[in-house]
Chain A
Amino acid sequence: MIVFRRPTSRTGWSWTSIVIAALVVIPVAMLATSILTPRTDVWSQQWATRLPGEIVETAILLLGVGVCSTVLGAGLAWLVSAYRFPGVRWFGWMLILPLAMPSYILGFLTLSTLGPTGPVQDQWREWFGRDAWFPDIESVWGATVAFTLVLYPYVYLLARAALRDQAAGAYHAARILGAGPTEAARRVVLPLVRPAIAAGAAVVMMETLTDFATVQYFGVDTVSVGVFRIWRGTYDRDAASEIATLVLGFALLAIAIERLARGRARFGQSGGAGAGIERRRLTGWRAVAATTVCGGVIVAAFVGPVVQLAVWAVREQTSDRGTPLLEQYPEYLGNSLQLMVVTVVICLVAAVVVANAQRFGSRRITGVTARLVAIGYAVPGPVVAIGVLLAVIGADRVLEAVGLDLPGAVATGSFLVLVYAYVVRFLAPGLGAVEAGTAQVSDEMTASARSLGHTPMSTMWRVHLPLSRASLLSAAILVGVDALKELPIVLLLRPFGFDTLPVWVYNLASESRFQQAALPALSIIVVALVPVAVLSRRLDRA
């Protein structure tokens, strides 16, 4: 293989890649290094009071949601991949829909219907008396169920793709060699899809860790809630950032668990679409059970909540005092969309540069920078927010020192700071998708274009990008949905008076004004549904 490179251009790609990686890593690194000069008074106070309990609750929640999502997601993926039963064609794509449902929305819906003062328990008490036992919804268990219902699709998606692309051939070989279906599933399929399931479970745990709205509705005191309380209640940023390193610790733990569960196998999406596993028909009670389970999950996680929100939204908008809501609505929707679009564009550009730099720049350098960029997604939202603020305050001081005084403009929550934090957090999923696309363009193709006289830039525009269009779309979708639903970062960093739909939902739901929260909540779901629908169609077609 002969590749012609001009040294200057090659260094240019490497350097750009390094700068992008540095911008992502610096906030996280600044936060992590805050622990090197610990505030012992804060730690001893926290350790003597709330912290042990918070650590335990965080661990229980993480493990609970991780295990439940894995079982549910992988189980459903196997069910719709390996069997035929009434409705299976519909369930195949409908089971992805809860991706459009933010956990904080399902959380407040669960609480308002099943919680101690909701209609279900009211009726329950009427039937069985006031002291009748009912499961404690406001608990880590209630939160586990709510998180599982919205997060299992991550496992489901990856497991289904792996079943289709990687496991089908091996499964059939095992069957031909005489293994029963269960044995083939256990001994051949499961080991093959394990890396995919582990990767899904890791994403699920990251998403659980980043939350501090849902857990507050359920009265679950996690470390993230602790960080939030210190930040907002004591105005002590140093203390909050130090406690936030613990959240970072949990994130690293989740990654370690993934590595462990994955074993030595690597998860890679193979290009060719396999024929899939030949589906066996379920009959009798088995078919009924399969339909009921799939239908039940979809109703509980998506259809039911959406119907409830729609009823509330209509009731609110037709009631006497429904008007002020509509006045603010376009502004909040606009803010959300603006933030989403800007984040998607920046993430895509940065991801394309980093992915292409691996072709055009020094491989050793750009390989490392690409891995560094991925750090952001493993860092929970509150941690990213605080880290970015530390970095920006640092930059502000440097600017001031060299005489460039921008009074308050940089540090006190500008839109740019918010976007910066979003990009740090969401660049990784974008990069993953773009890299997968670039990987489909062979080195020889790049070399041909270069030898025919195209510069790297022109090769990227005329060869790489057109060939990886589908991946660019995936990247935009993944980043867009995440950015739209994001709450912790915007709550901590938003400029004064800047409200997004999630902030609006959070504020109203925090005061149990569910009926008023219904319209913005529904809007988030509807907007998020567009990319999710594109995703599910592609999954179905492939």
Chain B
Amino acid sequence: MLSSAIPAELSDPDGLWYGLTVRARTIVYNPDEIAVDDLPTTYEELAEPEWADRVCMRNASNVYQQSLVASLIEHHGYDEALEIVEGWAANADIMGNDVLILEAVNDGLCEVGVTNHYYLAREYDENPDFGVELIWANQDDRGTHVNVSGGGVTTYSSHPEEATAFLEWLATDGQQVLIGGNHEFPANPDVPPDEVLVERFGVDFLRDPLQPSVYGALNPDAVRLMDEAGYG
């Protein structure tokens, strides 16, 4: 039942766990600082010299930054990914968390940034006029990088049937409870995302179908790659 509710690209290939909510990592910008036509459309573009000192990104200790780099390794191979991250390291002002990045973009300290989508939605909750917008990255190729929050049943579970039933509920009727207020995307495609996402971001976008287990396995390489690239 879980495998029919949750798309395969959001789950473990062996069914050990299932994604329940989706977090998209994409490009945000300040419309007062940059015209939509001038925006970078891919993560890779942010490594170009023209973006020097114009972009804010997240530090290497962060798991979203790590998984984004891991996905680059899968798509481009280690050497090319290294070049891209070196470009980022040269261009970016590297910050401690996504909210700082959004505030910096809002303040005009950087024209564009890379953050998870729901942080921006939360800023809109506080202030609907918050001066940052987003575009979905890499729409002309593989799609926007996404992470999942998910669940599985542990080997030593004393109530595996109940645990499975709970997961099944979370994947269906419980989806609204899971995403209530946090602006993540439901993993079940039959469940509608919340209004802010529909109205302000648009929810019909291409997602990178790379499975989390694939980029998860590459996470150690991503950490080493950022070490090598001198990415802060």
Contacts and interface: CB of A to CB of B under 8 A. Distances in A.
A50 B223 CA distance: 11
Given A46-B227, A125-B107, A233 B63 contact: yes
B230 interface: yes
B61 A233 contact: yes
Contacts of B100: 115-117, 512
* Best-surrounded residue of A130, A219, A235, A513 (most CB of chain B within 10 A): A219
B232 A233 contact: no
Interface in A44-66: 45-46, 48-50
A116 B107 CA distance: 9
Contacts of A50: 227
A117 B100 CA distance: 7
B170 to A, nearest CB: 16
B20 interface: no
Interface string B91-124: 0001111111001101111000000000100000
A217 interface: yes
B175 to A, nearest CB: 18
Contact of A117 (B66, B109, B156): B109
7 contacts: A115-B100, A116-B109, A117-B106, A221-B232, A234-B220, A234-B223, A513-B99
A403 interface: no
B93 to A, nearest CB: 9
Contact of A408 (B59, B104, B107, B156): B156
Interface in A470-515: 510-513
Overall SS of chain A's interface? loop
A233 B220 contact: yes
A138 interface: yes
A411 to B, nearest CB: 12
B60 interface: yes
Interface residues of A, number: 34
| Complex A-B, nearest 5 residue pairs according to Cβ-Cβ distance, in ascending order | A512-B99, A234-B220, A117-B103, A49-B227, A233-B223
A36 B134 CA distance: 51
B94 A219 contact: yes
A49 B85 CA distance: 14
Given A45-B224, A235-B220, A236-B220, A510 B97 contact: yes
B219 interface: yes
Interface in A126-165: 130, 138
A115 B181 CA distance: 28
Given A138-B96, A219-B59, A234-B219, 9 more contacts: A49-B228, A229-B60, A229-B223, A230-B223, A232-B61, A233-B219, A235-B219, A512-B100, A513-B99
B223 A219 contact: no
Given A117-B109, A219-B59, A512 B97 contact: yes
Given A45-B227, A219-B59, A225-B61, A511 B107 contact: no
A321 interface: yes
A407 interface: yes
Nearest to B108: A130
Interface in A213-246: 216-219, 221, 225, 228-230, 232-236
Contacts of B125: 321
Contacts of A233: 61, 63, 66, 219-220, 222-223
Nearest to B106: A117
Contacts of A125: 107
A511 B109 CA distance: 19
Nearest to A511: B97
A122 interface: yes
Which one of A216, A229, A235, A408 has the highest number of Cβ atoms from chain B below 10 Å of its Cβ? A229
A234 B96 contact: no
A49 B230 contact: yes
Contact of A219 (B66, B106, B222, B232): B232
A511 B103 contact: no
Nearest to B223: A233
Interface residues of B, number: 32
Contacts of B232: 219, 221
B61 A122 contact: no
Interface of A: 45-46, 48-50, 111, 115-117, 122, 125, 130, 138, 216-219, 221, 225, 228-230, 232-236, 321, 407-408, 510-513
Contacts of A511: 97-99, 119
A117 to B, nearest CB: 4
A230 B223 CA distance: 8
A219 B181 CA distance: 30
B181 A321 contact: yes
A46 B226 CA distance: 11
Contacts of A228: 61
Nearest to A236: B220
A219 B96 contact: yes
B99 A216 contact: no
A49 B63 CA distance: 19
Nearest to B104: A117
Contacts of A234: 219-220, 223-224
Nearest to A513: B99
A232 B223 CA distance: 10
Nearest to B61: A229
A510 B99 CA distance: 9
Nearest to A46: B227
A50 B109 CA distance: 27
User: Which of B100, B109, B181, B223 has the most chain A CB within a 10 Å cutoff?
Assistant: B100
Contacts of A45: 224, 227-228
A50 B227 CA distance: 6
Nearest to B119: A511
A225 B59 CA distance: 12
Nearest to A225: B61
B156 to A, nearest CB: 6
Nearest to A233: B223
Contacts of A115: 100
Interface string B46-85: 0000000000000111010010000000000000000000
Interface in B186-202: none
A479 B193 CA distance: 48
Contacts of A513: 99
Chain B CB within 10 Å — which of A48, A321, A511 has the most?
A511
A216 B107 contact: no
A165 B194 CA distance: 67
B107 A117 contact: yes
Contacts of A49: 224, 227-228, 230
A175 to B, nearest CB: 52
Nearest to A514: B99
A230 B60 CA distance: 11
Contacts of B97: 510-512
A233 B215 CA distance: 12
Nearest to A48: B228
A246 to B, nearest CB: 15
B95 A219 contact: yes
